[in-house]
Structures are given as C-alpha cells and as structure tokens.
Structure 1
Amino acid sequence: MLDRLSIKVIRWPLTQSAKVLDSFGATANQITLTGFLLGCLAFPALILEEYLWALLFISLNRIFDGLDGALARKQGISDAGGFLDISLDFLFYSLIPFGFVLANPEQNAIAGAFLIFSFIGTGTSFLAFAVMAGKRGIENPVYKNKSLYYMSGLTEGTETITCFVLFCLLPNHFDTIAYIFGAACWFTTFTRIYSGFQTLDDTQNGNN
C-alpha cells in the first residue's frame, strides 16, 4: 500500500548510489547476493536475542534490495536478475519470523508459524498473478520498471519492513504484532485472489 510513496522518497538517493556502484563495476546480481547474505546474518542475531544487531542486518538487506533494482535499471533489467531478486526476497521474509520463533519458541512459535503461513498466501497470490500477467502481456501502470508484474495490496514491502523493525524494537510483543500483521496479510491475499481472478477472467473474455 505504501510502496508507491516510499519509492518516490528513496528513488533519488538510490539512483545516485547506483551510479557510484556502476562506476566500480558492480553488477545488480552481485548486490542482490550481498544483500541476501547480509540479511541472513540477522538470523543468528535473532537466535541470540541480539535484536539491535538483527535490525542492522535487516536494514542493510533492504538497502541493498533497493540498490540492486536501481543498478538493474541503469545496466538493463533481466529476467534472470528479477528471478534471483524475488526468490531471495521471499526466503529472507520467512527467515526473520523463524529467527524469532527459535529465540523464544514458547511465546513466539504459534504466532511465527501463523505469520509464515500468511506469507505463503501473499507470496503465492503475488507470483501466480505475475506469471499469468506476463503470459497475457498485462502491464502494471504503477510499477513499469519492474521485471515482473507487482500486484499491490494492503501489505507490501514497506509494511513488511516496518513490521520487522517493530519486531526488533519490541521483541516481547512479537506475538501480538505477528498476529495483527498476519491478519493484514490474509486480507491482502484474499483481495489479490479476487481482483487477480477478475482481471484475468475479464482479459480472457475480452480476447474471445
């Protein structure tokens, strides 16, 4: 929901940073992999309940995620790069709640499982529609520079990262935040399934 606004705020600094990285010969795929590895360092930090360290690595992961996109737009967007980026993003998104579960299984296990379950809903509805939209040549008027169709919703990247920040700042309230955000994710899932089905059905009938 907030991605289109946050993108406008961070676009200029990311573009300028991408120019510097490009001058050093860095590639978008290298930045993607580096960001993922940095994000993975949040996992042991969470298990050890070093939440501020975890927040640092989560923040670095998201910065690199923005940088790889800006660099890809400068060097040329590729399907392989887009595939790598979205695959590692979804792995990272699931890794964070799993880290909180291992940090305090008695308090966080059920809430963490519910949140990861909700991520399956948002992820599958997002990717399934992207596949069908690509097959039918449906373009997204909002995110024109993405390598695949980005379907909007109540919970997008900005909201997810805000949730992760709250987890790290308020670890004792992980379960409450996870239940609330998980419920919002399910709202996103159901609205995506409904609107995605209607869009594809209308497109198919229109082609007939």
Structure 2
Amino acid sequence: MLDTHARKYVQPLIGKSADILLKVGLNANQVTTISFFIGVSSGLFIYFEYELAALIVLWFSGFLDAVDGSMARKTKSSAWGTLLDVSFDRLVEISVILGLAFRYPDSMWALLLLSVSIIYAMTIFLTVGALSEKKGIKSFYYQAGLAERTEGFILFSLMIIFTEYLTLLTLLFLVVEVFTTLQRLAEARKIMKDI
C-alpha cells in the first residue's frame, strides 16, 4: 500500500540517488547486489542482539532496493535484474526471520507460519505478474496490496524492537499477509476472466 501510494513523496530522493550512483559508474544490478549483502546481514545483527544495526542495514538495503529500480528505468532494465531483485528481496526477508527464529526460539512456530504465508503471497504475486498482460512501470505487472515491501519492513522493525511481543507481532504480520493474498487473488480473478 505504501509502496504504491507514498512512493511519489520519496521518489525525488530515490531518483537523485540513482543519478549519483549512475554517475559514479555503478549499474542497477551492482546496486541490487550491494543492497542484498547489506540487507542479509540484518539477520546476523538480530541474532547477536545488535537491534539498531539490524534496523539500519534493513532500511538502508530497502532504500537501495528502490534506487536500483530507478537506475534500471533510467538506463535499460533487464529480465536478469528483475530476477535478482525479487529473489534477493526474499533472501533479505528470510534473513530477518531466521535471525529472529534462532534468537527467540519460543516464537519459531509463528515465524514459520509467517514464512509460509510470504511464500504463498509471493507465489500469487509473481504468477499474476507473469500471466497478466497488464504492465506498469516495473518489468512485470505489480499488484498493489495491503502488505507491500514497506509495510513488511515496518512490521519487521516492530518485531526487532519489541521482542517481548514477537509472537503477537508475527501473527499480526501473518494476518496482514493472508489479507493481502486474498486481495491479490480477488484482483487476479477479475484480470483473468477466462478462469
């Protein structure tokens, strides 16, 4: 929801950052890879109880993830770049979940359910993107929903900060993911009328 509706407010900063990184000679795929390595370190910081560091690297990687897309649109986007971007995003999320699960094993069952919901939500998202003839500014059709990447980062941040409520916050995230999946399924039904 925020990625879709609030992007216009941060796009000037994202665009300017993209211009700077292009000027210094980086390309979108290189920034995607840098974003991945920064973001995936968040799980280690969580596990070793460096919560502030985990939050900083998580959000910085999310910012670079937005910048790399702007860089690709300013130059030449590629199918390989899209694959890297989507798969690296999931690995960063997995890193956060694993860091929390190993640090707080009492919440592992809820984190496992959240992981399953993210897998299913992304399966719907990517399948609709692949099957839809609609296109947006991205290289595939982007289905908006209640839970987009920014909402996920907000919920992950709450889970990292308020660990005494980790199970409850994880279950809240699960509900948001399930709702988003149902939203996307309903939209997919309208898009794919031949089903």
TM range (shorter): over 0.9
Q: Given the alignment, which residue of 141, 147, 153 partners 2:139? A: 147
Aligned pair count reads 195
For residue 5 of structure 1, report the CA deviation from its aligned partner. 2.3
Q: Within 2, Cα distance between the matches of 1:70 and 1:32?
A: 11
Q: In the alignment, which residue of structure 1 is the partner of 2:134?
A: 138
Structure 2, unpaired ranges of 5+: none
Do the aligned partners of 1:35 and 1:61 also contact (CA within 8 Å) in 2? yes
3-state secondary structure, aligned to 1:41: helix
- Structure 1 residue runs of 4 or more that deviate by more than 4 Å after TM superposition: none
For residue 114 of structure 1, report the CA deviation from its aligned partner. 1.3
Matching residue's letter, 1:128: T
Q: Given the alignment, which residue of 151, 161, 175 partners 1:183? A: 175
Matching residue's letter, 2:40: C
TM-score (norm 2): 0.95
Do the aligned partners of 1:111 and 1:175 also contact (CA within 8 Å) in 2? yes
3-state secondary structure, aligned to 2:6: helix
Q: Within 2, Cα distance between the matches of 1:16 and 1:138?
A: 28
Alignment of 1:26-175 (within 5 A): 26-106=26-106, 108-133=107-132, 137-139=133-135, 144-175=136-167
TM-score (norm 1): 0.89
Q: Within 2, Cα distance between the matches of 1:162 and 1:65?
A: 15
Pick the structure with greater CA Rg: 1
For residue 191 of structure 1, report the CA deviation from its aligned partner. 2.4
RMSD after superposition: 1.4
Identity across the alignment (%): 29
For residue 195 of structure 1, report the CA deviation from its aligned partner. 2.2
Do the aligned partners of 1:14 and 1:67 also contact (CA within 8 Å) in 2? yes
